[in-house]
């Protein structure tokens, strides 16, 4: 049952603070040894608070009230908010039942190019524990943490990006984001209303309808990619400039996903890995125990599907696991097919045909997910103040010149 938007109260920091503070205390306990009983006692409180915050608070309305704008075009924040709640719950479960205390590592100050072999475990002093718990709450990738299979990334192959380079990438991706977003709104105006509409124009014949659907799906994928990368660039600038953190704590988030030559490569490292840990713990590991490698692949994508469908639920208009969750299950199935191909032929999916297969599989099935988001009004979202859209200005100028 989807939460009724009319029954939810505007999000406030005061209403959210008990959940966040409990989550932070659990992070402290996860770092300290011999705290399992305390963690187990705190977990039900967190689960209850997370449920109440999820179904009882409307993040979009709270943000709209603070900004003095209309909330109907900020509903995308409810999607992100509920996904965040879902992730917080899974991470709380993982911390509670972790077999060993979670440890944060540092690299020697004069040897930042070295890898895990040179890592130094931070002592359990009170200041360190309090700061490390804050880092644990915010650190989704596991950089510098014992719970990550790769707490350190190799940096010798290429120098870390400079601050001006990161700023330039941020500005570029904000423009590309708005271009992709506005292209969908411009060429399919019916989706640019809170009520939403399908990306597949029923007035067109089959071929142009599908072609436009593919184009809108590619734009939607670019919106997602640039959104996540831009937010990461902002966090990187804060971490490196204000918090004076070393560059190795902020390795690149993604690696040109459009160049992937297999589905496995696309999702393994070319796409962002923000939620990889919870997908492995709650999907890949139990799925692998039951059905081997294919079960591990499908299990990880199944958790991803549930997470994204829960985000749809947060919009207040029901769920749609058949398309949104189904997309991720099909990604797991595609990766399993690649694994089967390797087992039978001894060859990995790669090269031009691997790229073509990856693009057709992800974009083809992805159109169903983007369509579900469009029908829920997700494309009718405002990310920039009115009149300050760099992508819209650029597209409108090109269209005017072409005429």
Contact predicate 55/315, CB 8 Å: no
Tokens of 94: 């993982």
pLDDT band at residue 109 under the 50/70/90 scheme: low
pLDDT band at residue 79 under the 50/70/90 scheme: very high
For residue 158, what pLDDT is reported? Answer: 58
| 195, pLDDT greater than 80 | yes
pLDDT, mean over the chain: 91
Average pLDDT over residues 255-282: 94
Q: Is 145 helix (H, G, I), strand (E, B) or coil?
A: strand
Tokens of 170: 């941020």
Average pLDDT over residues 94-110: 86
CA nearest neighbour of 192 among 39, 398, 2, 381: 381
Listed in sequence order, the residues at least 6 apart from 68 whose beta carbon sits closer than 8 Å to its beta carbon are none
pLDDT band at residue 121 under the 50/70/90 scheme: confident
**% of the chain residues with pLDDT over 90:** 74
Return the minimum-mean-pLDDT range out of 116-125, 203-212, 337-346, 377-386: 116-125
Listed in sequence order, the residues at least 6 apart from 111 whose beta carbon sits closer than 8 Å to its beta carbon are 118
pLDDT band at residue 116 under the 50/70/90 scheme: very low
Bridge partners (DSSP) of residue 9 are 57
CA nearest neighbour of 215 among 186, 252, 174: 186
H helices present in 254-284, as ranges: 263-265, 276-279
For residue 71, what pLDDT is reported? Answer: 82
pLDDT band at residue 156 under the 50/70/90 scheme: very low
């Amino acid at each position: 049952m989807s939460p009724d938007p009319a029954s939810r109260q505007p999000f406030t920091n005061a209403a959210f603070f008990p959940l966040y503070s409990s989550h932070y205390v659990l992070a402290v306990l996860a770092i300290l040894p011999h705290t399992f009983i305390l963690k187990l006692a705190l977990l039900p409180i967190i689960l209850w608070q997370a449920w109440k915050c999820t179904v009882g608070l409307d993040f979009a309305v709270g943000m709209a009230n603070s900004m003095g704008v209309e909330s109907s075009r900020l509903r995308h924040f409810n999607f992100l908010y509920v996904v965040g709640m879902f992730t917080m719950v899974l991470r709380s479960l993982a911390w509670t039942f972790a077999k060993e205390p979670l440890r944060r590592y540092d690299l020697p100050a004069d040897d930042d190019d070295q890898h895990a072999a040179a890592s130094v475990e931070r002592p359990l002093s009170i200041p360190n524990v309090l700061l490390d718990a804050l880092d644990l709450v915010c650190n989704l990738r596991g950089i510098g943490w014992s719970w990550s299979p790769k707490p350190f990334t190799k940096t010798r192959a290429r120098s870390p990006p400079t601050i001006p380079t990161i700023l330039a990438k941020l500005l570029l991706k904000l423009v590309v984001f708005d271009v992709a977003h506005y292209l969908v709104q411009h060429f399919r105006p019916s989706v640019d209303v809170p009520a939403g509409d399908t990306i597949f124009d029923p007035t067109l014949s089959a071929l142009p309808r599908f072609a436009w659907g593919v184009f809108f799906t590619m734009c939607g994928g670019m919106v997602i990619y640039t959104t996540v990368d831009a937010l990461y660039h902002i966090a990187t600038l804060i971490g490196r400039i204000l918090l004076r953190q070393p560059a190795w704590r902020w390795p690149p988030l993604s690696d040109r996903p459009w160049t992937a030559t297999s589905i496995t490569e696309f999702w393994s490292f070319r796409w962002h890995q923000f939620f990889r840990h919870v997908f492995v713990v709650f999907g890949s590991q139990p799925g692998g125990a039951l059905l081997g490698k294919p079960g591990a692949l499908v299990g990880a994508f199944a958790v991803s599907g549930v997470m994204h469908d829960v985000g749809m639920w947060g919009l207040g208009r029901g769920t749609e696991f058949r398309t949104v969750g189904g997309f991720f299950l099909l990604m797991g199935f595609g990766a399993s097919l690649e694994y089967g191909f390797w087992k039978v032929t001894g060859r990995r999916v790669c090269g031009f045909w691997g790229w073509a297969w990856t693009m057709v599989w992800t974009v083809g099935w992805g159109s169903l997910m983007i369509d579900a988001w469009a029908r829920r009004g997700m494309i009718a979202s405002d990310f920039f103040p009115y009149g300050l859209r760099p992508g819209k200005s650029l597209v409108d100028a090109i269209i005017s010149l072409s005429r």
